[in-house]
């Protein structure tokens, strides 16, 4: 199944792109699993998704917990804690 | 109700005058947040930002008497003293107007997808989220 991934702020800079569409490997069904999967791609992803990196995620533009499940066509976003206002 | 995410500056006087002329309104509270010390660039998540701000406004309406409300948040390049965010709340009485205004600011600081990057003398740096902002938002849960 395919999902669209968006990166913002420091995550976008570390990854080196702002969006991509990826085919999820079998067994990757949650935001937490996707985060781990991205880290194992190595290179810029290893740094952006390091275990100690403080990251937040949204699915279809709603902030979610790491255990949130994914389905085909979802828009998943990864970003650092927000600093607006 | 008005929620706007824009690059352009806003006119506080105009926005307050544009609040509903409903005769039940007895109090209009407003807050303006502005850039301190150094220039910055504000990035946001188009689509989610509007959705998150609208959800926060709905939550405020469910907790307090909010007859009308305006939230405007800017993005892009901003200089010291530039206004960043405006919240205007109109209620029957001041208690609800003040509380809803403060709640809206506390919640948007922790829930609306904006990120600040400061241009300091030593170079650019992403502003880190403050735990004091998390605590400010937490206190509304009780």
Reported confidence tier of residue B1, pLDDT bands at 50, 70, 90:
very high
pLDDT tens-digit profile of B2-30? 999 999 999 999 999 999 899 999 999 99
ipTM: 0.95
CA dist., res. B57 & res. A12, Å (int): 29
The answer to whether residue B142 scores a pLDDT higher than 90 is: no
Q: From the candidates B129, B130, B137, which should be mutated to test the interface with A, based on the most A CB atoms within 10 A?
A: B129
Identify the burial level of A37 via C-beta atoms within 10 angstroms of its C-beta, where 0-12 means exposed, 13-18 middle and 19 or more buried.
middle
Nearest CA in chain B to A75: B48
What is the residue whose two structure tokens read 């530039």? B82
For residue A18, give how far its alpha carbon lies from the nearest alpha carbon of chain B (Å). Answer: 11
- Across the interface, of B48, B128, B133, the residue whose CB is closest to A61 is B48
The answer to whether residue B67 scores a pLDDT higher than 80 is: yes
Contact A70, A31 (CB under 8 A): yes
Q: Between B94-111 and B48-63, two packed helices, what is the crossing angle to 10 degrees?
A: 150
Entry pTM = 0.94
Reported confidence tier of residue B96, pLDDT bands at 50, 70, 90:
very high
For residue A85, give how far its alpha carbon lies from the nearest alpha carbon of chain B (Å). Answer: 5
Reported confidence tier of residue B141, pLDDT bands at 50, 70, 90:
confident
Cβ-proximal residues to A25 (8 Å cutoff; 6+ apart), any chain: A37
């Amino acid at each position: 199944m395919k999902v669209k991934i968006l990166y913002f702020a420091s995550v976008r800079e570390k990854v080196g792109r702002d969006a991509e569409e990826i085919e999820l490997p079998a067994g990757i069904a949650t935001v937490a699993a996707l985060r781990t999967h991205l880290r194992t791609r190595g290179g810029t992803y290893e740094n952006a998704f390091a275990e100690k990196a403080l990251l937040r995620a949204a699915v279809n533009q709603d902030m979610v917990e790491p255990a949130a499940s994914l389905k085909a066509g979802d828009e998943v976003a990864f970003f650092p804690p927000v600093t607006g206002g | 109700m008005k929620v706007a995410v824009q690059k352009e500056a806003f006119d506080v006087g105009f926005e307050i005058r544009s609040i509903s002329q409903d005769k039940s309104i007895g109090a209009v509270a407003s807050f303006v947040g502005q850039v301190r010390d150094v220039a910055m660039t504000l990035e946001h998540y188009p689509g989610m930002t509007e959705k998150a701000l609208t959800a926060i406004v709905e939550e405020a309406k469910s907790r307090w008497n909010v007859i009308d409300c305006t939230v405007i948040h800017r993005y892009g390049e901003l200089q010291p003293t530039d206004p960043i965010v405006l919240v205007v709340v109109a209620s029957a009485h001041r208690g609800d107007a003040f509380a809803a205004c403060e709640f809206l600011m506390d919640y948007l600081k922790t829930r609306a997808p904006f990120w600040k990057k400061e241009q300091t003398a030593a170079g650019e740096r992403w502003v880190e989220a403050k735990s004091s902002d998390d605590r400010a938002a937490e206190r509304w849960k009780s």
